[in-house]
Structures are given as C-alpha cells and as structure tokens.
A and B are shown apart, each in its own frame.
Chain A
Amino acid sequence: MVASFGPVALAVAIATVFGLLPLFLSGIIVPKKPDSVKNATYECGVETIGPTYIQFRTPYYLYALLFVIFDVEAVFLFPWAVAYRQLGLFALAEVAIFIGLLLVGYAYAWRKKAFEWT
C-alpha cells in the first residue's frame, strides 16, 4: 500500500511546496500598498448593486443531484470493468439492470425538463 500510494502523497506535498514557493518569493519583493479604491470589489469597473451572496437558480442543484447518481454509478462500474472477463455474461446482465434502473431516473429527469436551461 505505502509503496504504491506513498509516492502520490509525496507528490501532493511537493506540489504544495512548489505552489507556496513563488507565493512566498513574490510576497517578499512585491509592493504592498492597499487602499480602499484599489482593493474594492471589481476595481476599475462599475460597482455591483446589492449583496453578492444572493440565491442561485435551482437548475444548478438539479445538475448536482444528477451528477451524484451518475458518478457513483461510474465508480461502481470500475470494479466491474476490471473483473468483467472473469465474471462473464451474467455480470453484463447485472450491470445492464443496474444502469437500466438509473436510466429510468434519467428519463424522468429528461421528461421533467431538468436539462432545459430556460
């Protein structure tokens, strides 16, 4: 485990250092003169009206729900794909049923116009 996944963890650590290094370096040499105009939101543009954190359209969240369904499905398909040759046609039928169930939900979302952006 450690022998195969350890290098990935090391890579994450080194990539973090690689990202922090230029930030640290530029932090030393760059000018720091904040003022209320320069650090305003959307400086040099028209000021936005009202609070930024407003309610968002619900379709964004519909996509999130659908994504969870299909991404979990995709994760389940990986072990199936690896072991498919040993499992044979029975596994194909099982996966067809599994995806079929999800496709019912997919068809329902399609009919309910979850994919329309109006």
Chain B
Amino acid sequence: MSFLSCPFPALVCNPFGLARDGIYGLLAAIVPEPLPTVALTVLGIAMLIAIIALTVMSQVWVERRAVAFLQERLGPNRVGPAGVLQSVADVLKLLLKEDLIPFKADRATFVVAPLVVLVPSLSVWSLIPWGPGLAIADVNVGILLVLAIGSFTTLGILAAGWASANKYSLLGGMRVAAQLISYEVPLVVSALVPVLWAGTASLQGIIESQATVWNVFVLPVGPIAFLVFLIAGIAEVNRSPFDLPEAESEIVAGFHTEYSGMRFALFFLAEYSNSLAIGALAAVLFLGGWQGPILPPYVWLFFKAYAVFLILVWIRGTLPRLRYDQLMHFGWKVALPISLVTLGATAVLVSAVQGTAA
C-alpha cells in the first residue's frame, strides 16, 4: 500500500477532509448517528453533481471549439473571452424557452423520459473513486453496479422516442435500443478483463491492482480490451461515429426531435455527463484510475477522464457517421468475438502469470 498512500498532506489528498470532520463533529453533538453521516453524504453528492454540471458546461464549449478547429471553422467566440460563456448563455436561453409537449404525445411518458435519462447518468458518479477513500460509495460489486445503472439510460431514450408520437423520434428510439443492447455486450465483456486481472469487482480494488502496471499495458490483452471498451463506450453514449439515433441527415434529431427548453437541456446534460463517465470508467479500468505522480489523485482522475473525452471529440471531428447495418455488423461480428477471445486469453494469462489454485 506504500504507493497507494497519499504522498501529500491529508488536506491535498482530500480537500474536504477538514471541513468534513468539522461538520461531522458539529452535527454529532446535536443529532444521533446515522443522521450526521447521511447529512455529509448528501452534501458530498450535491457537491459532486454540481462539479459534474459545471464540467459539462466546459465540455460543451471545449467540444464546439475543438470540432470547429478540426473543421477549420471558428466555433463560438463571441460570448465572453474566446466564447467561454457560450454554454452559460445557452443554458439561460433554454431555461427561458417554452416547454412544448405535442398534443399527440403520451404526456406522462414524455415528461418523465428526460429524467430517466439524466438520473442514471449522474448517479453513476457516486461510484467513481476520486482518490484513496475518496468515493461517495465504495461497493464491492462497483463495476457491475456502474454498468447496471448506466444501462437505464436506454430505457429513457426509448421512452422519449416512443412518447413523442413522431415517426422520426420513434425510429431514433428503436435504433438507440438496438444499438445500445448490441454494444452493451462487448462493453461488459471487455470490462471483465480488468476484473479478472484484479480478482475483484470493486473499483478501488481494480485501481489498486494497477499500482505498478496500468491494465492498458498488460500485454497482449490490455490494449485490445481497452480499444474494444472505448469503441463500445462511444456507441453506448451515442456519440459520433455511432450517433445513428440522432442522425440529423436521416431522422431529424431522433429521439429528442420534439423536445424543447429545459427538457432538451437535460438530454444534453445527460449525454455529456455520460461521455465523461465513460472516460472516468476507462481511466479506472485501464488507465490506473487516480494514480499518478506529483499531482493529487482527484486531479489525475479528472485529467484522464477529460483526456478520454477529448479523444471522443477528436474522433467526432474526424470520422463520418457509420451506416446502420455497418454498426450492427461491427458490434456483433467483430467487437463481440474479439472481446470474448480477449477474455479467454486473459484467463489463461492470469493462470500463467499470477498462478491459480489447483
């Protein structure tokens, strides 16, 4: 554990540690136990969600500027210095827009769908460890729970497409359902590779197993599993080149064609939060999580997650959209067999390198 212990004063590793102890002491004096713990957890989650929401605003700006740069355009550069306040202006605008619900739409489903997409995408963050002991929830089946919560998004998007009572939306919803379930399998199987290597499904355990070598450098299976995970992850968050569900040249805007105002904004918040979460998950599973020299752990995790997000942006700016049959073909005939073979090879590698009983 020597490498894993924080190389800084406790305050740098956990900037809220001092405030946490202070608030806990104060509350414990007034109210009996579980309450102070619950109150602190609520505070922690609220702060985390606020940080993610702010990060999403930065992501939107970074993505628009980066894609503009790749395509030799200017991108947003008017609101604030270099356009940094563009996202703020967008949020304010969407906040003031009328919330249209088509008369033919299934009202209840239409209204709830954005929340069904948003809530899992934010809840997932409670399981991501930001440093040694710095996670809202440290669950021993962490990776399984992250994937389980994350897959609820499919349900919300399908509900949104169906409830809109619009053929384009319905097509988008159906496409999303088929696409997400197709790429769920390679995603989960390639996420099994680090689990197998570490011998634990806890996210902290997986990070600790990478103290000397990151999983992505465990040859020969690491890079392949990472690549499959990244491709399946891009498909899971419906980003280009796998953004068939919202292919504007074919089906307008897919499942969110009929959405406006704040509900539309919630879909976008969820999409960018999911993109960063895939980055964080890739960092945890393959890139050593919060481990790194000099800088504090949470900075490392944030950097790694953001770096993966930037790769996603780069891919979006470079590659054209796939055709639907190509998408399904790749998911089932290429990604799935590769991930299964990688898993088998990892099992053999674990036996050979780490040794197994019997």
A-to-B contact residues, CB < 8 Å: 4-8, 10-12, 14-16, 18-20, 22-23, 25-27, 29-34, 36, 38-43, 45, 48, 52-53, 56, 59-60, 63-64, 66-67, 70-71, 74-75, 77-78, 81-90, 92, 95-96, 99, 103, 106, 110, 115-118
Contact = CB atoms under 8 A, between A and B. Distances in A.
Contacts of A82: 195, 199-201
Choose among A45, A67, A82, A95 the residue with the greatest number of B CB atoms under 10 Å from its CB.
A82
Contact of B137 (A11, A20, A53, A81): A11
Given A29-B96, A40-B103, A84-B350, A60 B126 contact: no
Interface of B: 38, 41-42, 45-46, 49, 53, 94-105, 114-115, 118-120, 122-123, 125-127, 136-141, 143-145, 149, 164-168, 170, 174, 177-178, 181-182, 184-185, 188-189, 192, 195-196, 199-201, 252, 257-258, 261-263, 265-266, 324-325, 328-329, 332-333, 336, 340, 343-344, 347-348, 350-351, 354-358
Nearest to B118: A19
Contact of B263 (A12, A23, A96): A23
B356 A89 contact: yes
A111 B289 CA distance: 41
A7 B45 contact: yes
Q: Is the interface of B mostly helix, strand, loop or mixed?
A: helix
A48 B167 contact: yes
Given A16-B115, A74-B185, 9 more contacts: A7-B41, A26-B94, A30-B98, A42-B168, A56-B174, A60-B177, A77-B192, A87-B358, A117-B325
A26 B329 contact: no
B347 A84 contact: yes
Contact of A71 (B104, B185, B347): B185
Contacts of A6: 38, 41, 137
Contacts of B201: 78, 81-82
A14 B136 CA distance: 13
B262 A26 contact: yes
